[in-house]
Structure 1
C-alpha cells in the first residue's frame, strides 16, 4: 500500500488483516518523519541506545525531543505514557518527549501524568495530526502552542482545535455575548458522543465540543479559555474516583462561572438509561468498537425524557438555543 497521507489510512479496507495494520503503523512513522524533515527538524528514527527502543528524536533550534508514534485499535493507556516518560527521564535534562497517537488517549492516561513530580511530555492526538497534515498549522507552531500551554497550566495535552476555534473568534472581533459556545468534555471519545447527541438539535448559536484530555484537565482548559478568550463554556463532568478531588474540580469550575452538567455516571451509562428496551436489546448484538455503543445511545435516546430528568442539561440547551429536530 503506497500512500503519503494520514487521511488515506483512516478507514481500513474490508480485507484489512494484521499485516495491513502493521504496515499502517510503519507508514505513520514515515509520514511523521517526512513532516519533521520538511520543517528541518533533523529527525532520527528507530534508535536503540543500550537496548532501549525509541521511535525517534528531532530538534528545534537547540532543544531536543524524543518521539513515540502509535496507531493502535484502542486508546493509548497510562502504561504506555509511563513507559515513554521513563525513557525521557533517563536522557539529558531539558529533553522533552512528544507522543504522537492516532489512537488518542484513555482518560486516565493523561490524568496519570499529572501525579508525577515532573512533566516532560506533550501529547498529540488524531485531530491534531490531521490539522497539521492539512496545512492549518505547522508542526513547529503546533509544538510551540502545546509547550506554552503545558508551561502555563502543567497539562500535557492541549487540543489544537481549541486553539483554532478561539483564535478565529478573536481575529473576527466577535463580542462576548455573541461568541459561539465551547462545550468541554473529558476525552476524545466523549467529544464524539456529545457531538452526536447535539446533532439531534437545531441551534441558533454555533458551538464546538472539545476534549480536555482527562478528568483532571477539564478545569485547566476551562480556565485557559475564560482568561484568554472570555468564552461561553459548558462542561460535562462524570464521577472522579476521589470525591474530594471531584468537588475541588467542581468548585473551580463554578468559581469561573461556567455552566456545568454534573453526571453520576459515565456518558454511555447516562444515555443508555434513555434508550428503549427494544432498541437496547437490538444494540447489544452489535459491536462496541471505539465507543460505538455510546454514540448509538446518543442517536436513539429519548430526548424529551433526557431533558426533563436533567435540569442542568436542559438549561445548557436553552442557553445555546437548542431545540429538538424531532
Structure 2
C-alpha cells in the first residue's frame, strides 16, 4: 500500500477507538514519514538510540543532516516536549537543525517559548504541513524549504502552509507560502489564490482562525459585501509581527488587521505589536483576555472538549446565534474587528 493511502487510513479514529489504536497510529506514522522521505530521496534513517537518548530519525537535505521527532497524540503538545527535543539537537554538530512534528498541534505558549529562546535550531510542523506534504499536492522538501527560509529571514519557527480565504460564500483553505527553487522565493501554490485580496487578518492560532472566518463570513453576508479576506495563522503571539511582515511580501495592496489576545495586559500587547510590525497600513484588535471571551467561552475548557470538526460545528452554532450589534456595543475589541470588516 502506498504511504499516502496508509496516511489517509489513520487520519480519523473511530468514536470508540481504544488507547492501543492511538499507539499503533504513532508507530504507523513513523513508517509513513520514512516512506515519504525515501520517496523524496532524502536518505532517511529510522529511529535510533545514542547514549542516554532516543532519536525518532534523521534525513539529509542539501548537504545538511536534520534530526526528526514525530508525535501523533490526542492533545496539543506542551513547550516541555519541544524543549526536550531541542536539548537533543543542541548536543549535536553546530548547525544541526531539528524538525519537530506534532499532528495534534502545540499548546498556546509552546511556539512563543521556543521563539524567545537563545537560539533557533528547531523547525515546527503541524498536521496541516504534513497534509500538504503527503496528500495536498506539495512535498515534504518544498514545505521544509519554505519554513527554513522564513525561519532564517523572519525568525518564525512555526509557519503554517495553510491560509484561509474568506468571502460571503464561505471559507476555502488555500495552500500557500511554498518555496520555489528556481526563484528562491516564497510563492503561492494554489492557482486559485489571489495575491491581491481586499483584507488580510493575522491571528495567533487555528482556533482563532476558525472563529474569525465564521464571524467574517457572517458580517460579509449581513451587509452583502463581496470582499475577499485572507486569514493567516502566526502559530503564536510573539511571532505575529514577523508573520505579518513576511506575509506582506506575497499579499499586496491590502490593509492588515492583527487579532491577538491581551493575556490580561492590553498595553504590553499593543507595545509588542508597535515595536515589531513594519507595515504601512495595519490595525489591531486585542480581545481581553482572550478571543474566546467574545463568545463567553473558557478557552482551555473549550479546546479540551471540542476538536476538529466538532469544534467547528460548535463554533458555527455559537456564531449563528450571536447578535453582532450587541457584541459590538459591549466589547471594544470586537467593535474594531466588526467595523474593520465593514469599512476597511
Tell me the TM-score range normalised by the shorter chain.
0.7 to 0.9
Residue by residue, what CA displacement relative to the aligned partner does 1:165-220 show, whole Å, maximum 9, x if unpaired?
A: 474499889684xx243321101222222233334342412223221010101111
- State the match for 1:301 in structure 2: 322
- State the match for 2:305 in structure 1: 288
Task: Identify which range, 261-270 or 306-315, moves more after superposition.
Answer: 306-315
SS state at 1:59 partner:
strand
SS state at 1:116 partner:
coil
- State the match for 1:80 in structure 2: 81
| 8 Å contact from structure 1 (residues 46, 56) kept in 2 | yes
Asked if 1:318 corresponds to 2:336, the answer is no
| 8 Å contact from structure 1 (residues 183, 208) kept in 2 | yes
Asked if 1:192 corresponds to 2:210, the answer is yes
Instruction: Give unmatched runs, 5+ long, in structure 1.
Output: 274-283, 321-326
Residue by residue, what CA displacement relative to the aligned partner does 1:120-169 show, whole Å, maximum 9, x if unpaired?
A: 01111111111111243211111111000000011111111249447449
* Distance 1:169-1:124 versus aligned 2 partners, 3 A rule: closer
- State the match for 2:182 in structure 1: none
* Distance 1:250-1:135 versus aligned 2 partners, 3 A rule: closer
Q: Which structure features the higher share of helix residues?
A: 1
Match among 239, 261, 280 for residue 238 of structure 1: 261
May I ask how many residue pairs the two structures share in their alignment? 308
Alpha-carbon distance between aligned partners in 2 of 1:69 and 1:245, rounded to the nearest angstrom: 35
| 8 Å contact from structure 2 (residues 147, 159) kept in 1 | yes
| 8 Å contact from structure 1 (residues 308, 314) kept in 2 | no
Alpha-carbon distance between aligned partners in 2 of 1:189 and 1:174, rounded to the nearest angstrom: 24
Alpha-carbon distance between aligned partners in 1 of 2:203 and 2:138, rounded to the nearest angstrom: 24
SS state at 1:10 partner:
coil
* Distance 1:26-1:263 versus aligned 2 partners, 3 A rule: same
Alpha-carbon distance between aligned partners in 2 of 1:218 and 1:29, rounded to the nearest angstrom: 31
* TM-score calculated relative to the size of structure 1: 0.83
| 8 Å contact from structure 1 (residues 222, 253) kept in 2 | no
* Distance 1:14-1:58 versus aligned 2 partners, 3 A rule: same
- State the match for 2:21 in structure 1: 20
- State the match for 1:57 in structure 2: 58
* TM-score calculated relative to the size of structure 2: 0.79
Residue by residue, what CA displacement relative to the aligned partner does 1:270-312 show, whole Å, maximum 9, x if unpaired?
A: 2217xxxxxxxxxx99972348397254443322312333321
- State the match for 1:272 in structure 2: 296
| Superposition deviation, residue 259 in structure 1 | 2.9
| 8 Å contact from structure 1 (residues 74, 290) kept in 2 | no
| 8 Å contact from structure 1 (residues 85, 97) kept in 2 | yes
Alpha-carbon distance between aligned partners in 2 of 1:106 and 1:215, rounded to the nearest angstrom: 12
Alpha-carbon distance between aligned partners in 2 of 1:26 and 1:173, rounded to the nearest angstrom: 36
**RMSD (Å), alpha carbons:** 3.1
The correspondence of residues 55-204 of structure 1 with structure 2, limited to 5 A, is: 55-162=56-163, 164-165=175-176, 167-168=187-188, 176=196, 179-201=197-219, 202=221, 203-204=225-226
Task: Identify which range, 214-223 or 158-167, moves more after superposition.
Answer: 158-167
Alpha-carbon distance between aligned partners in 2 of 1:107 and 1:285, rounded to the nearest angstrom: 14
| Superposition deviation, residue 92 in structure 1 | 0.9
| Superposition deviation, residue 245 in structure 1 | 4.5
- State the match for 2:287 in structure 1: 263
- Greater relative contact order (Cα < 8 A, sep 6+): 1
| 8 Å contact from structure 2 (residues 263, 290) kept in 1 | no
Instruction: Give unmatched runs, 5+ long, in structure 2.
Output: 164-173, 178-186
